[in-house]
Structure 1
């Protein structure tokens, strides 16, 4: 019985946390970071102020959690691809990234950061250091592992990761920030990822031995 109650309490805590972060994201987007109070977030999330303050004692801590969870909410299996098949690995990484940045919540997060950057530069640092940088590093490390295994001729894995993710985000994410009606089809996104993979393979597949 104690174990069942404990599991029930953990489930309720997760539900309340999700309600808080969802309400905060929506309010930050429409009222601005500075114009949104923790009290208003608690009211919108339908939780008590004490519940909110217990999980997020400051607004900065709440925004930090939103950034971290948004970038970690990866579509499908988030483990790095196994080395040995560069095409399969890049394809898995590319589609995973497209799914992640294609979510409306991700575009909303970027809009909040961009709108508030002049007054709250720390929001930009959070977005970069807690979200984009760790994700970027994981792709860089994957390319390095393929290079070490002899499956990819990648002199600069950092540059290669920038190229690969940039080809995808330039179609999937950035137009969404400026065009309210931007909604590429699943087929269009799939083709974008596949073309990015083909470009990477053309550049980084090792030359056959003489």
Structure 2
């Protein structure tokens, strides 16, 4: 029985962490970052203050956790191997689309936008802990493809930005800003495929298959 106790305690800790993060996200949206205290978060989440402080000693640490968990993808696996730019970018583009379509992602951006004038550090946390790590994964993949000779790119940072922008500008920003905007799964797949085709058509060194 004792060998099962760490697993049980880890599960309980994880469940409490999820409750805390969900409560904090909701309160940040309702009250704003400044007016939300750790005590209010503990009360809303149903955990003791001691439990909350043990996991998140400051509100900034809690916000960082929201960012990190919003951008995390438990099933993302390894970066695609170089050699097939259409297949590799397709996998990364679909993963990015899945991340952007998470309800928590929309909530995160709304918090950052609302609090930007008073708390620019929230935007910095979102950029440094969220967007940049994913950007770097795409950048690293493109560099690997260039090393393999499948693409020829002068400015990898620019191309990674273009690729992600083609996806987010259609399936994320309108959802954030336009009431009632919806993008179904079929449309999302088309948006990702067209972004891949655009990059491949411009930068691939040889003719590639455009099949999804």
The alpha carbon displacement at 1:77 in A equals 2.7
Task: State the alpha-carbon separation in 2 of the partners of residues 183 and 76 from structure 1.
Answer: 25
Q: TM-score, normalised by structure 1?
A: 0.95
Task: State the alpha-carbon separation in 1 of the partners of residues 160 and 150 from structure 2.
Answer: 16
Counterparts of 1:122-201 in structure 2 under 5 Å?
122-201=121-200
Task: State the alpha-carbon separation in 2 of the partners of residues 34 and 206 from structure 1.
Answer: 51
The alpha carbon displacement at 1:78 in A equals 3.3
Q: Which runs of 5+ in 2 are unaligned?
A: 208-212
The alpha carbon displacement at 1:75 in A equals 6.4
Partner SS for 1:11: helix
Cα contact 2:150–2:206 (8 A) shared by 1:
no
Give 2:54's aligned residue: 54
Aligned residues: 207
Cα contact 2:23–2:45 (8 A) shared by 1:
yes
Q: Which runs of 5+ in 1 are unaligned?
A: none
Q: How well do the aligned residues superpose, as a CA RMSD in angstroms?
A: 1.1
Task: State the alpha-carbon separation in 1 of the partners of residues 51 and 3 from structure 2.
Answer: 22
Q: TM-score, normalised by structure 2?
A: 0.95
Cα contact 1:153–1:205 (8 A) shared by 2:
yes
Task: State the alpha-carbon separation in 1 of the partners of residues 30 and 181 from structure 2.
Answer: 19
The alpha carbon displacement at 1:207 in A equals 4.3
Give 1:105's aligned residue: 104
Cα contact 1:75–1:96 (8 A) shared by 2:
no
